[in-house]
Amino acid sequence: MRAHRPEDAATAERASAPSGDPARSIAQALLAGFDKHYALFRECARAAKRHFEAGHFLAIGHVARDRIDFYDRRVAETAERLRREFAEVGIEGAGAEALWARIKPHYVAMLAEHRQPECAETFFNTVSCKLLDRDYFHNRVMFVRPAVATEYLDADLPAYRSYYPRERGLRAAIIDLVLDFRLERRFGDFRRDLANLLAAFRRRLPRPIRLDANFQIQALSGLFFRNHSAYVVGRIVNGAHVLPFAVAIRHTPDGDLYVDAVLSDPVELALLFSANRAYFLVDMEVPSATVEFLRSILPDKTAAELYTIVGLQKHGKTLFFRDFLAHLRHSTDRFVNAPGIRGLVMAVFTLPSYPYVFKVIKDRIAASKDTDRARVKQKYALVKHHDRAGRMTDILEYSNVVLPRSRFDPSLLDELRELAPSQVEEQGDWVRIRHLYIERRLVPLNLVLERADDAARERAIAEYGQAIRELAAVNIFAGDLLSKNFGLTRYGRVVFYDYDEIEYMTDCTFRTIPPPPPGFDELSGEVWYRVGPRDIFPEEFATFLLTDPRNRSAFLRHHAELLDARWWSALQHRIREHGAAEVLSYSDKVRFAPPPPPRRARSNAREAPA
């Protein structure tokens, strides 16, 4: 069978389509819109490689943020094209279902040899949602269920490459693996890096090492880029034993490349691929093959999570909702209020048997919050586009979610009617929620501290302060630092999840409370100094955040400087001068020795690979 590109299907269909068949023409236009989107998506990953080679790390961040909006732009562009070119056949509105039922089979036929059929189906759904007037999903006109299988689908160049150390030795196999990525920056000391890699792999392989006939190293063909780092992702296969790994590559101060760490522990890899971080930029002709490979080395991650973390978050949302609907069919518990202190901005509920929370913006937000629906949505969008540094939960945003009324606890439904009547519509046996955020459910930190022993309290408070530090390092001031707005993950990390008051560090003013004027009665409760809308007084954190003496004592042991405005101002100055720092996706304990300090001034010219 000859090699087949995604556009071949659309081209062949276009050539053979009778001009009088609007359903087929609409399907062609839809697929053309998706193919344009995916071509731009892949170009982002290629741009990330160029920027990494050149050491332009800010540009990598800009590409990652811009890419998040590309999908919605192509959807809007395609929907507008369909309105413009097919208005006369009734492409949108209440009477369009019959037409879309005819469009879908044509679209499915065009995906037979497509490289990204699952993502193209999601694109079809998103465009149709903009044009169809409907109450809830029907598989007749949308892809509620996938129509095209992706198993065993691969690219002209395979998704991963295999290297066989038994033929020429482990050292030669690793050299070939690195050279195959064709990086245009040289490694400053590749002998040192190679020795570190060999030692790391030998430490992680079971002893004594007996090489089976199938001993091989498999590495995904595309590098994974995020912030200042690139990652080789792969697995070592030896008989029935499989060792997953990720190799972190960074720049020395001189601009050369070096291997910084090898991650192989399941927790290390899970944290690297956490959706609480910025999405990776990776070039994939066949995303399903990449995700299948990742699932083999990250068995605790769902396909929805993995599509999301490689930047295909719209398809990740589709898979998440399919999983959620399947869970509803196989469970009987009801939606109830989420545990913890009720929020002033969001109504938050959960399904106890499902590890997520559902958040609806209230119609009447407490006056003390000084915000509104538009500004809350803006803050959540900021988090989606920002480097979350492993300290802010990812957000799934949905519109017009229809759920069975019988699955709501009556008291919760009464509360939603009262707090967010504009967002809740009841239609017979169904409840439609017009706008909804979904996040991973965490144990609220305040509840953790209430029942913690001394050792657990010490760990939680140390993590709490570290989360505040790392958010600040990436230019985020969390705003409301109360422990109820932070949660504990299954890996024991503290992350932030209440975004309505976040600000950029560089937009804040960190101040020390001035001494009162002579004769002022400090017990009066009056404030003797002016306070601007973004003025922050860190010395007050101890008073308002650390009311329990045990928590305050632990915080002072680990993070006393966070109560000093000078620490915040100094960090703010560094961000303004040098940009936000990178919070590494792995701990210092797995890093090799740091690279040597810069030797001399260097040009920015690209150099040949080692």
Long-range contacts of 144-149 (CB under 8 A, 24+ apart): 144/322, 145/322, 146/118, 146/121, 147/104, 147/108, 147/111, 147/121, 148/108, 148/111, 148/112, 148/114, 148/117, 148/118, 148/121
Given the structure tokens 């979350």, which residue do they identify? 388
429 tagged catalytic: no
Query: Residue 118 in contact with residue 150, Cβ under 8 Å?
Result: yes
CA–CA dist 182, 218 (Å, integer)? 17
Given the structure tokens 């090898």, which residue do they identify? 262
Query: Residue 416 in contact with residue 424, Cβ under 8 Å?
Result: yes
**115 membership: H or E segment, kind and range:** none
CA–CA dist 147, 32 (Å, integer)? 19
Residues contacting residue 217 through CB under 8 Å, at least 6 positions apart: 162, 163, 165, 173, 174, 177, 234, 235, 236, 237
DSSP code, position 392: B
Nearest Cα residue to 144 out of 332, 324, 289, 394: 324
Instruction: List for the chain the helix, strand, coil content (%; round to 5).
Output: 45, 15, 35
Residues contacting residue 284 through CB under 8 Å, at least 6 positions apart: 42, 45, 159, 222, 290, 310
Query: Residue 311 in contact with residue 37, Cβ under 8 Å?
Result: no
Residues contacting residue 588 through CB under 8 Å, at least 6 positions apart: none
The count of residues in the chain is: 610
Given the structure tokens 């879908």, which residue do they identify? 104
Query: Residue 341 in contact with residue 486, Cβ under 8 Å?
Result: no
User: Which residue out of 193, 394, 480, 500 is catalytically annotated?
Assistant: 394
Active-site residue numbers? Answer: 394
